[in-house]
Structure 1
Amino acid sequence: MDQTSVSNRKYVHRLLSKNASTDEILIITSYDYFLQKYDLKLLRGIYREIILVPHTADDDYLINYTVRPLLDKFEKVHLVTNPHYDKRNKVIYELVIRKNKSIRITTVYDFCEKNLKKVYIPDDISELNPNITDMPAFGKRVRYPKKIIDVSVSIILFTLTLPLWILSYFRIKFQSPGPVFYYQERVGMDNKSFKCIKFRSMALDAESNGATFSKKNDSRTFSYGSFMRMSRIDELPQIINIFKRDLSLIGPRPERQVFTETFDELIPYYNSRHAIKPGITGYAQVMYSYGAGVFDARHKLMYDLYYIKNWSLYLELKIILLTAVVIFGKRGR
């Protein structure tokens, strides 16, 4: 049975695995802020042991009394480095060489894209990722197949869900008097605003105290509204946005300007997600659990930028299938 142990909790975290496919040890020197449970599960199926090295001013103690003893058990070391902390990387590298171990070195930027299928977004606004350049809008090679998928899937989806539109209309009217549809200004491609259409799931005074992120078990929703949010029925009217060319089926989730302005100041490369049309669903939505705020927005951006940089028909269809799994598994956002 897999177990997680902590060696000197103040300094280094160790993850042990019995089901690893190699005897290699993985050392990550940028700590684990960019990792989530899915990533760790994936890595523990590959590496016998994982060492996550936190940011600390006491590198000498960290290396000599916590990392050094762990190296004696392994002949192969995979060191994932962050050039932003070059001194630490050099010390670990020299330590491994002195012990005559086999070592391969990968930057955290390459490691995230190749192994975790997401783009590393620095925790520090001053840190740059050399793998990220300006994100161009999709060219014809991408736009045309996406448009075919958008239109064909939207027509099929509207036809199949028409009874839900009718049911939702009457249930909303019965439980919460007021308009059935909710129009909210969102930021789209090239930072242009558009009116996002949804079935109303909250009371009319839901934002009387100002704009806030929605959350699980949101007290502002009425009974059927909660069900719509959990099953994503409330998103169905966004099919109209696809026909209006505001949205694509797959893309970064469109956010409100009051939030994007904050994220743009605090999260490196955040504005790059606006190089393409936002989507009803997307890679970030199916790969990252529910969350709100700067921390979660940074993690979701890692997936959004990977989607933009590495678009393929396979990835597009994979997201559609994973979205179905999320919906039928009732994993609300």
Structure 2
Amino acid sequence: MRFQFKQTIRTIMVLFDIVILSGAFYFLWISLYNSDIPNPFFRNGNYLLTIVYALIVTVTVILMKGHQVGQNRITEILLSHAIALGLCNTIMFLLASLLSYEFVDFVGFIWLTVIQMIIVTFWACIANRVYYQIYPPHDMLLVYDDEINHAIKKKLNRIVDKYRILKEINVSEGREAIEAAMEPFDSIVLSVNSTELRQWMINLCYQKAKRLYVVPSITNILVNGATDIRVVDTPMLFLRNQGLTNEKRLYKRLLDIVGSLCGILVLSPIFLVTALAIWAYDRKNVFYTQERLTIDGKVFKVLKFRSMIVDAERNGAQLATVDDDRITPVGKIIRKLRIDEIPQLFNVLKGDMSLVGPRPERPEIAAEYEKSMPEFAYRLKAKAGLTGYAQVYGKYNTTAYDKLLMDLIYIENYSFLLDLKLMILTLRVVMMPDKTEGIQQGERMAQTKKTTEE
């Protein structure tokens, strides 16, 4: 019973949030702007404009995942709201300017955003506290088959407000022991490689009405992206296994051309400032190119702002590590803000890359991954991307295997709207420093499946 009505409670909390934010806009509008437009609104007009504002706030907050009370950390909720409100208030500033036939004073909207963020801070703290009082952390049982899969415990236990693995059991103890260990727990985490054991656990948890968290395999993801077809009286699943269709590639290419051109135009001041800063530091090359892999294993030269010393790879190819002394002071800033990636917009415009897709990997590092994980080549069924599913939901030091799973989720579930969603969520990722954290010192590249916390 404790798991019931979660969505209803979240919805009530979010509606309360939207009402307060919209109310703040309403008072700003009638106090500062309505009387200044040539044809001021009366009561109903002001109400209608506030409803429009509420709809825009709702859409932007949901897109940025600022509504996920009890799922995201407070800092993530606040960051999501900051970006969402920034976008929303900019739209309303332009709308107010259209109604006034001239640009209105933007200071009022700046103050509105500041006041709204103060409100959101109180709301997020109270909402999360209330939510966790109603729904305390899940007491969980971890079922695993080796130490690699056992490492998921460390990741989940870091989110202490939501998950609490109190017991773990290895499959070697037998099915009877597993079934007995399950009894006191409402939630089970399953991280095993055996397909047969997975099937048994899924059926058992279904019978006993246990919540089940499954760490997916590559096969699970591919099947999940299958199409349900009914040509005979036996259900069948159809797996195309060819990546994106030609039709989807066309739509994607059109988005890439328009998006890269707009990005280059809008970000041109940042291009100039960054280039001057890099050159002023050591009077060396501003850009650097590097061979990367894209769709069908094609090799291209990726263009980036140089963030490391000139001879950073004199000892061979390697990923950036924590506190990497090869990174310049300017490089630390542009890497944290992801500015070093901006020149890849020219790669997108040229057609080597897409705005959204699997991160382009270096041929030599990809070859190393494929020695222990041949499925790593599956990522090449889609064009490499400036941002993507793994970049939004993973980190720089996320294991290669986990990045592969996320890239396959993207490829198998691609849609135009998914691309737009990931592009918008990238704004939030840019403001999260932990997303750029390097691998551990002494490692040449990210581990294939073992987590970096070990």
Give the alignment's TM-score, normalised by structure 1: 0.71
Q: Structure 1 or 2: larger strand share?
A: 1
Change (3 A) 1:166 1:19: same
Alignment partner of 1:179 out of 285, 295, 320: 285
Consecutive unaligned residues in structure 2, runs of 5 or more: 1-69, 71-131, 226-238, 437-454
Cα 1:35–1:177 shift into 2, 3 Å: farther
Q: 1:314 aligns with which of 417, 421, 427?
A: 417
Give the partner amino acid of 1:163: P
Deviates more, 1:202-211 or 1:262-271: 262-271
> Are the counterparts in 1 of residues 295 and 383 from structure 2 also a CA contact under 8 Å?
yes
CA distance in structure 2 between the aligned counterparts of 1:311 and 1:214, rounded to whole angstroms: 30
Match of 1:249 in 2: 355
2:332 maps to amino acid: S
| CA 1:91–1:198: 2 relative to 1, 3 Å | closer
Offset of residue 70 of structure 1:
4.7
- CA 271–156 in structure 1, closer or farther in 2 if over 3 Å, else same: same
d(CA) in 2 for partners of 1:188, 1:164: 27
- DSSP 3-state at the match of 2:194: helix
Greater helix fraction, Structure 1 or Structure 2? 2
AA aligned opposite 1:284: A
For 1:200, which of 293, 306, 330 is the aligned residue? 306
**1:63-212 paired onto structure 2 within 5 Å:** 63-64=176-177, 68=180, 70-71=182-183, 73=184, 84=194, 86=196, 102-103=208-209, 111=214, 120-121=217-218, 135-212=241-318
Task: Decide whether aligned partners of structure 1 residues 121 and 21 sit closer, same or farther in structure 2, where only a CA change above 3 A counts.
Answer: farther
> Could you tell me whether the CA contact under 8 Å between 1:283 and 1:303 is conserved in 2?
yes
Task: Return 5+ residue gaps in structure 1 as ranges.
Answer: 3-16, 113-118
Residue 428 of structure 2 aligns with which residue? Answer: 325
- Post-superposition CA distance 1:184-217 (Å, at most 9, x none): 0111111110000001111111111111111343
SS across alignment from 1:211: coil
Q: Quick one: which amino acid aligns to residue 361 of structure 2? A: E
**Cα RMSD for the two superposed structures:** 4.1
Partner residue in 2 for 1:7: none
Match of 1:222 in 2: 328
Cα shift at 1:82 = 5.3
Contact 2:357–2:387 (Cα < 8 Å) also in 1: yes
Matched-pair contact (CA < 8 Å) for 2:137–2:162:
no
The separation in 1 between residues aligned to 2:187 and 2:273, in whole angstroms, is 58
Identity of aligned residues (%): 28
Once structures 1 and 2 are overlaid, which stretch shifts more, 254-263 or 164-173?
164-173
Give SS of 1:164's match.
helix
- Residue 285 (structure 1) aligned with residue 382 (structure 2): no
Greater Cα radius of gyration, structure 1 or 2: 2
Deviations 1:288-318 (A, max 9, x none): 12306xxx11011110000000112332122
Q: What amino acid maps onto 1:282 in structure 2?
A: G
2:365: which partner in 1? 259
Which aligned pairs between 1:39-58 and structure 2 lie closer than 5 A?
Answer: 44=162, 53=168, 55=170, 57=172
Indicate if the aligned counterparts of 1:198 and 1:238 stay in contact, CA closer than 8 A: yes
Who is 1:8 aligned against? none
Asked whether the equivalents of residues 142 and 169 of structure 2 are also in contact (C-alpha less than 8 Å), the reply is: no
Give the direction of change, closer, same or farther, for the CA distance of 1:175–1:20 in structure 2 (3 Å limit): same
Deviates more, 1:316-325 or 1:211-220: 211-220
Deviation at 1:245, TM superposition (A): 0.5
Deviation at 1:177, TM superposition (A): 2.3
Greater shift in the superposed pair: 322-331 or 233-242: 322-331
Change (3 A) 1:259 1:103: same
After superposition, the C-alpha distances for 1:81-115 in whole angstroms (9 at most, x for unaligned) are 85726469759978x89xxx635798x8xx55xxx
Question: Counterpart of 2:262 in structure 1: which amino acid?
Answer: I
Q: 1:153-208 CA deviation, whole Å, 9 max, x = no partner? A: 21221111111111122111111222111010111111110000001111111111
Task: Specify the code of the residue in structure 2 equivalent to 1:193.
Answer: V
What amino acid sits opposite 2:370 in the alignment? Answer: D
Are the aligned partners of 2:143 and 2:189 in contact in 1 as well (CA < 8 Å)?
Answer: yes
The alpha-carbon distance between structure 1 residues 233 and 265, as it changes in their structure 2 partners (threshold 3 A), is same
Higher relative contact order structure (alpha carbons within 8 Å, sequence separation ≥ 6): 1
State the 1:136 CA deviation: 1.3
Do the aligned partners of residues 164 and 269 (structure 1) sit closer, same or farther apart at CA in structure 2, a change above 3 Å counting?
A: same
Report the residue type matching 1:312 in the other structure.
S
Change (3 A) 1:103 1:261: same
